Structure 1
Amino acid sequence: MTSFVFGSLPFSNQGGDQIVSKAVSAAIAALFKRTGKLEAKVRAEPVAKLLQGSIDGFDFIGNGMLMYNGLRIEAMELYVQAVSIDFSAIFTGQVKLRQPTQASLRVILTEEDLTTSFNTPFVVEKLQGLQYQDQSLHFQNTQMILNDDKSLRLKTAIRVGEASEPLDVDMTAFLNVEDRSKIQFINVTYQGSEEAQELGKALIDHVNNLMDLDKFALEGTQIKIDRARIKDQQIVFYGVAQINQFPQKKPK
């Protein structure tokens, strides 16, 4: 019966698990402006369970993922627990959950990813939300460096208000995860002139207030980070994603 149903679908020589795997991969790819390799593998035993929308879980691995806001992710892994889906929606290119599910999560950001992200209009606009001494800030050439001692160095040139010359702000900090939802720069040391150091302190306070993961999560999801690790010019985040509904690309 199962082979008869799947054999009548418009996908030659593909099993139900392959059909769903490809649909999940395509739905995730649609959330990004550009991607490298993406692969989702659905687990269902027996495969006939798929007809009722029952999945034992699925594994997703992707790399080179560029978000529409300009942020880039070197690699992401999701290992989703048992889930129930609307099987009929698969053939319209959508993944619809019948109930919330949870996934273990691993995300890798490179030093280059971080530097690129801090120079995107999306992040620069948020940074320039800081008013310093009642004056606006203008950021140039922000650079993120991941050190061998697991610290992170932030260098940037900031022009305050109508000043003709920018201040060179140079700070080194360690990462800390608070309440599983906030990434914070702690134990910060500042370089440069006294004026640059004061500006750096104000900037760190501002950035720490911005780094609430709930502000960056895709619609219908909530991310909790258990651990952040810096090694080999990469930051690796380990945590879980609560998925209440499968996120969809918003129309422009």
Structure 2
Amino acid sequence: MLFGGLSLLEKSGDQILSSTVTSAIASLFKKTENLKINIKAEPIAKLFQGKMDGFEFVGQGMLMYNGLRLEAMDLYLQEVAIDFGSVFQGKVELTESIEAIMRVVLSEDDLTASFNTPFIIEKLQRLTYQGKNLFFQNTNIDINPDRTFNLSSEIRLGKNGEVIPVMIKSEMELQGRTKIQFTNAEYMGDEKSQNLARELINHVNNLLNLENFVLDGTNLTVDKFLVKDKQLVFYGMAQINHFPQNNK
């Protein structure tokens, strides 16, 4: 009876922790298509001390509250320590900072949708041109077979001004582990379109710092990225100082 009761208690602790962590992570996103959590602890009684040997998180189709979407995100951690008492309050509280191996996938559709969200449009509209505010519409990003990117948009100068089409073909590079940059850009169209496109690329490159997009309590660094099958795949590390809060 003693060992049977312990086995039941350990199993319940595992289930409680898995359920709480899954719910806590899901709450950070407006919508998720699939979430899988795998917690490793040997013996499993270590969970009641708030200790885990490993933690694996695999998510697909994750839509953030700011409108940005991730095709997939995987996190792999070792030696995680949490306040197990917080679990019974439906929370996840870390007792020390942790580092996770990270993989993030963005599809071509994700990139296009992101550039048309109010979150990104507001950042784009911080750029002015010839003293006029810019208004963006129908922004689109295509990933080409040669791993270059086509960025196009219709930009209105002022609320009732001229609409200038912008078309850019560019490569993408990683700089300093925290910056993604459009490089070796080719600008299409007439002189007016090309001049505006140059200003836009410079502005976008200033925005593409991972620090502008991380969840609360986290720091991200990218070691490499691949362009394949109409997707961007990033590999890197996530330092998590405290469990992110839901900032809708």
Normalising by the smaller structure, the TM-score range is: over 0.9
User: Residue 95 of structure 2 aligns with which residue?
Assistant: 98
Contact kept? 1:174, 1:185, Cα under 8 Å? yes
Report the Cα distance in structure 1 between the residues aligned to 2:220 and 2:103, rounded to whole angstroms: 11
Secondary structure in 2 matching 1:56: strand
Amino acid across the alignment from 1:247: P
Paired residues of 2:108 and 2:230 also in contact (CA < 8 A): yes
Q: What is the aligned partner in structure 2 of residue 212 from structure 1?
A: 209
1:239 aligns with 2:236: yes
Contact 2:47–2:84 (Cα < 8 Å) also in 1: yes
Unpaired runs of at least 5, structure 2 = none
Q: Contact 1:31–1:248 at 8 Å: present in 2 too?
A: yes
Q: Secondary structure at the match of 1:36?
A: strand
Instruction: Please state if 1:16 is matched with 2:13.
Output: yes
Q: Separation in 2 of the partners of 1:51 and 1:5?
A: 12
* Cα separation, 2, equivalents of 1:154 and 1:6: 57
> 2:106, 2:52 → 1: CA distance?
30
Check whether the contact 1:101–1:244 (CA below 8 A) recurs between aligned residues.
yes
For 1:59, the equivalent position in structure 2 comes to 56
- Indicate the percent of aligned positions where both proteins have the same amino acid: 50
The corresponding residue for 1:117 is: 114
Gaps in structure 1 of 5+ consecutive residues: none
Q: Residue 32 of structure 1 aligns to a residue in which SS?
A: coil
Question: CA–CA distance in 2 between the matches of 1:17 and 1:224?
Answer: 31
Alignment partner of 1:194 is 2:191? yes
Question: What TM-score comes out, normalization by structure 1 length?
Answer: 0.93
Task: Please give the TM-score of this superposition, normalised by the length of structure 2.
Answer: 0.95
2:48 aligned with 1:28: no
Give the counterpart letter for 1:195 in structure 2: K
The corresponding residue for 1:87 is 84
Which of these residues, 146, 150, 155, is aligned with residue 152 of structure 2? Answer: 155
Q: What is the aligned residue count? A: 247
**CA RMSD, 1 decimal:** 1.6
User: Match of 1:179, as an amino acid?
Assistant: G
How far apart in 1 are the matches of 2:77 and 2:54?
A: 5
